[in-house]
Amino acid sequence: MSGAAIGKVAVLMGGSSAERAVSLMSGAGVLAALRSQGVDAQAFDPAERDLVELRRAGIARVFIALHGRHGEDGTVQGALELLGIPYTGSGVMASAIAMDKVMTKRVWQTEGLPTPRWQWLAPDRQSREDVNAVPDQLGLPLIVKPPREGSSIGISKVAGYSQMQDAVTLAAQYDPDVLCEEFIEGIELTCPVLGRGAAAKALPVVRIDAPDGQYDFQNKYYTDVVRYGIPSGLSAAEEAEVQRLTLAAYRTLGCRGWGRADLMMRAADRQIFLLEMNTSPGMTSHSLVPMSARAAGLSYEQLCLRLLQQATLDSTR
């Protein structure tokens, strides 16, 4: 299907989450790419306009370039299901589960997929006594994060007991629940996936080398100090195993369209651990999916058009 044959398209961007600024950058890139492919595309910010306007405007398909809550968590997907407008990426259930790192870990553990040890601190389990008991179980250092945010927002690496309370307080500013996770010392990796079900394919693995391991919000989007390895530098067997685990994680959650798994390879024994699955990955100039797609021979513009062509509804998959 050519770009012109798709009909009117809305690129959902901005939104109301803590990742709004990143979403606006992703959306601007996607919008320009689709237009370059002959698509009749327009920007649409759900924070400023009611989604019902999509139907009134005769929108045939939606490219979701939203990140975080109310965009990546199944809520917008559910609204588009009710409106009957096909959209890019995963459906309602997979989006909701993948957005919640605690639920994601529960599913992966049930299926025997490797993920770092963790503890969940509900709002009534964040007393000083509860918080200080976490390192006794997970060891130090450890990671403290809000389970339903992305882009490294609200994340802390905790080296000692004295830092635990501040880390939990920071994470709780973004999510009433707090996820504490075993720190894996080693190589940071990411692996995108395109497609759905048995036809889903893993793209080349990307190795991430950030200064002092600080792959934080600033370094992800606003600096050029992070080095990305494509090829990853892993052995062929290790690269294949990262891709195998990524596909298993993606399919287990019921993802479709596209996604990106973040992983760690432990330096001590080269064991691979799944950290999270992103169902609406970034599409900025620094983003990892376009980087990996280019290594596979797919340009940014071709990637955007391909994702749009695969837009669908839960009811028609």
Catalytic residue, candidates 156, 276, 280, 301: 276
Q: What is the DSSP string of 127-143?
A: SHHHHHHHHHHH-SSEE
Among 19, 72, 177, 239, the active-site one is: 19
Selecting among 69, 196, 256, 260, the annotated active-site residue is 260
The token pair that represents 39 in the structure block: 């698509």
Q: Are 60 and 9 in contact (CB under 8 A)?
A: yes
Of the listed 278, 280, 287, 292, which one is catalytic? 278
276 is catalytic: yes
User: Which entry of 174, 215, 221, 250 is annotated as an active-site residue?
Assistant: 221
Answer yes or no: 219 catalytic. Answer: no
Q: Which of 259, 282, 292, 301 is catalytic?
A: 282
- 48 as an active site residue: the answer is no
Handedness of CA 241, 246, 251, 257 (dihedral sign): negative
Is residue 151 part of the annotated active site? The answer reads yes
Is the omega angle on the peptide bond into residue 141 within 30 degrees of 0, that is, cis? yes
Catalytic residue among 100, 182, 239, 262: 262
Query: And the tokens for 166?
Result: 């501040």
Among 141, 138, 130, 137, smallest CA distance to 168 is for 130
Q: Are strands 40-44 and 8-12 parallel, antiparallel or unpaired?
A: parallel
- Our answer to whether residue 40 is catalytic in this structure is no
17 is an active site residue? no
- Which of 151, 156, 219, 287 does the annotation list as catalytic? 151
**Is 19 assigned a catalytic role?**
yes
Q: In this structure, how many other beta carbons lie within 10 angstroms of the beta carbon of residue 181?
A: 24
Q: Which residues are catalytic?
A: 19, 151, 221, 260, 262, 276, 278, 282
